[in-house]
Amino acid sequence: MAPSTTSAPHGDWFRAGLDGILDRYRRARAEERLDSSHPLWGHAKRLRADLEATPIVRERPNVNVRWSFGQGAWARIPWLALLDDRVAKATSDGVYVIYLFREDMSGVYATLNQGITKAKERLGSEAGRETIRQRSEELRRFAGRLSEAGFALSNEIELHTEHSLGKDYQHGTVAHRLYESGCVPPTRALLEDLRLLVDAYDGIVTAQLARRV
């Protein structure tokens, strides 16, 4: 992805973007049809464009911003992710930064995380989960600054779901911070947290690329 030439967004856009999903998603999932004409679809596209316009993303031409509300039906755990295409082509495998919304929309986690689907396909469910949990422990050596800033270095996230995919996100979590509904911090603080997450991600990417040489 080429660096964006769009100017950075203004105002409290990041908090408004997360709040808009937390406030509206649960009702939409219960009562409305998911398609590209839904207002939340446009809301997510604007949030992605605003993130792409920030220096955090523009300085990293390999980082792609993606989001998902599901395919054909509303996802129980919608997400917004930043993926470096050199180590993660999709959220099914590799390491990435991802915002995970609780199923009941009581909050959203900012996390450094990794995909588990491919590992489960290769190794089976239990062995795949154990491999990813061990890898999460190993990756925490890159997350010292996150710990200093108050992020939890553990996989103890609670997405308030019984769905297996939601449970799988827990195994892959390297570091996390919860923003509760109604208490999402302002955009400046959100961007400071994102910068810390992406800096830790940069260290992981560099180490993984070095091993390929």
Q: Is residue 103 part of a domain?
A: yes
pTM of the model: 0.93
pLDDT of residue 5: 36
Domain count, the chain: 1
Q: 117 in a domain, yes or no?
A: yes
pLDDT tens-digit series, residues 49-97: 999 999 999 999 999 999 999 998 999 999 999 999 999 999 999 999 9
DSSP string, 148-172: HTT-B-SS----S---HHHHHHHHH
Question: pLDDT band for position 167 (50/70/90)?
Answer: confident
21 part of a folded domain = no
| Strand ranges in 51-182 using DSSP code E only, listed in sequence order | 63-68, 79-84, 95-101, 107-114, 175-180
Q: Does the residue 48 lie in any domain?
A: yes
Q: Is residue 25 in some structural domain?
A: no
Own/partner pairs, 149-152, CB within 8 angstroms, 24+ separation: 149/193, 149/196, 150/177, 151/175, 151/176, 151/177, 151/193, 151/196, 151/197, 152/176, 152/177
Instruction: Report if residue 13 sits inside a domain.
Output: no
Q: Output the pLDDT for position 4.
A: 35
Domain around 182: 35-212
The CATH number of whichever domain residue 126 belongs to comes to 3.30.920
- Confidence band, pLDDT 50/70/90 cuts, at residue 9: low
Asked if residue 183 belongs to a domain, the reply is yes
Residue 80: inside a domain, yes or no? yes
Residue 213: what pLDDT? 65
